[in-house]
Amino acid sequence: MPDLSVNQSCSCPCGQSTFTVSGVAISRFLCHCQICQSIYKQPFADITTFWSGSVSLPEEHSIQFNRYRLPPALRRGTCATCDAPVVGLLSLAPFVQLAFVPSKNFSAPAALPSAGAHIFYHRRVCDVHDSLRKVNGYWPSELAVTKMVMGSLFR
């Protein structure tokens, strides 16, 4: 089994919003939802997930958190300077929170685990020709991410 431990500094493209991630990656996926397309200004977002305790934000930061859909309560953080995605936080239950980090924000993204699937693929703006699983539909996409998270509990 590959080592999924990460200990890296991260930042938005302009460098104003910085933080560190030190922990085990839960999953990595490529999200084609319309919210990600809008926020990332790309056909899909490449996201690596962690338990939120793995992410250390500086006490003074310029990350602005917003919710784009209720529920779920994913708070997507963007840089106040460049408006690029920085980190998203999702509360699953009291004291159980996930962090969604854009893979390109890592100082060494090549060291991250490989992506496991394309989710919300029915919302794609163009076909992707790779060997990753393509998950269509809202609930199947949510279930795919849930399975990735639950699978991490038994590693």
DSSP string, 17-61: SEEEEEEE--EEEEE--HHHHHHHTSS-EEEEEEEGGGEE--SS-
- pLDDT of residue 73 exceeding 80: no
Neighbours of 142 (CB within 10 A): 14
At residue 72, what is the residue type? P
Instruction: Say if residue 13 is preceded by a cis peptide, omega within 30 of 0.
Output: no
The rounded mean pLDDT for the chain is: 91
More confident residue, 3 or 140: 140
Domains of the chain: 5-152 (3.90.1590.10)
Cβ contacts of 54 within 8 Å, gap of 6 or more: 6, 21, 22, 23, 24, 99
Question: At residue 119, does pLDDT exceed 60?
Answer: yes
- Residue 112 DSSP SS3: coil
89 in Cβ contact with 73 (< 8 Å): no
pLDDT band at 101 (very low <50, low <70, confident <90, very high): very high
Mean pLDDT, residues 3-11 taken together:
88
- Cα dihedral 77, 78, 79, 82, rounded to 10, equals 170
Distance of CA 79 to the CA centre of its chain: 15
d(CA 85, CA 93): 24
Decide if pLDDT at 94 tops 80: no
- The pLDDT of residue 1 is 40
